Amino acid sequence: MMFLTSVVATLVAGALAAPEDSIPSPSTSYSNASAAAWYAMPLCKGFSIEDATIDELQQYMANSNLSSVQLLYCYMQRYYQTNQYIK
């Protein structure tokens, strides 16, 4: 976990940080919806990558909508969100 913390710190503070506008305000209210609902994947810098195909992800990168670093950042967030359940 020490390592994970340092990756996040690097992301926020370092040269690889996602642009400010891609960091949403932390949500402070969570619904009481069922697991299947709160497991939904958040947008990645405003773009939907839930169930995105590789072609769609390439299009995002080709259009400069998302960088590979931002994409990795969003998948890492997804890992933090789900791994305690699915491993």
* Site map 15..54 versus other proteins, x via CB under 8 A: xx-----------------xxx--x-x-------xxxxxx
55 binds other proteins (CB under 8 A): yes
Both structure tokens of 57 = 């992800």
CA-CA distance, 22 to 44, in Å (whole number)?
Answer: 8
Structure tokens at 45: 């810098």
**For 17-25, which contacts have Cβ atoms below 8 Å and span 24 or more sequence positions?**
18/45, 18/69, 18/70, 18/73, 19/45, 21/45, 22/46, 22/70
If the CB atoms of residues 14 and 28 are measured against other proteins, the closer one turns out to be 14
Closer residue to other proteins in complex, CB, 31/62:
62
Q: Which one among 22, 47, 65, 67 touches other proteins, defined by CB under 8 A?
A: 67
Under the binding rule (CB under 8 A), the answer on residue 5 touching other proteins is no
According to the binding rule CB under 8 A, does residue 83 interact with other proteins?
yes
